[in-house]
Chain A
Amino acid sequence: MPNPVKRHSRTRRNTRRAHDFLKQPSLSLCPQCNEIKMPHRVCPKCGTYKGREINPIEKVS
């Protein structure tokens, strides 16, 4: 079986991992209650979307 010839340096390992991070979810403000919410989704605070859809289903989270 082929094996790695050399151990990778710390720098090399860390450079590889430089792109391993979590991305912030994009967020938008609810036009109704100014609360932070996910875009294209019902506002979890006031239960509205595009000015209607009153409290669709109480608790989904």
Chain B
Amino acid sequence: MYHGKAGRKLGRTSSHKEAMLRNMVTSVIKHERISTTDCKAKELRKLAEKMITLGKRGDLHARRQALSIVRDKTAVGKLFGELTERFRKREGGYTRIIKVGYRFGDNAPVSIIEYIPDEKKKEKAKPKAKAKAKAKAKEAAAE
């Protein structure tokens, strides 16, 4: 029976899947935001949030546990520094998945997974978005 088996197989052997997810967490930590298929993003979310939990624990053992998954020492440094600081007040829900569309070639549903950006940085990014939207609206109106 296939009862109670959580998680997706993603069409890979478990070692392949593990290797891939490790690569992917490393990438999200480094770049904050990556785009993949919906399923991989949802699978990655579990790992990515666990990494933040390790970062919040902050002790040596937690750091070693993180190092056993994340493939980059500097990324672990960022995880235990910047990211932990950012999510200090947040209890879970450190990542966000946004569905984008369908990939050309195999029509796979693509989404973006990211660590929730900093409040201060968000304020900076917001007016830019509004300006862009306005410019586009103007262009549309002109046409």
Contact = CB atoms under 8 A, between A and B. Distances in A.
Interface residues of B, number: 21
Interface residues of A, number: 19
A60 B100 CA distance: 7
A60 B126 CA distance: 23
User: Chain A interface mostly helix, strand, loop or mixed?
Assistant: loop
Given A33-B140, A56-B35, A38 B133 contact: no
Contacts of B100: 41-42, 56-57, 60
Contact of B98 (A32, A33, A44, A53): A53
A52 B140 contact: no
Interface string A36-61: 00101110111011001111110011
Interface of A: 32-33, 38, 40-42, 44-46, 48-49, 52-57, 60-61
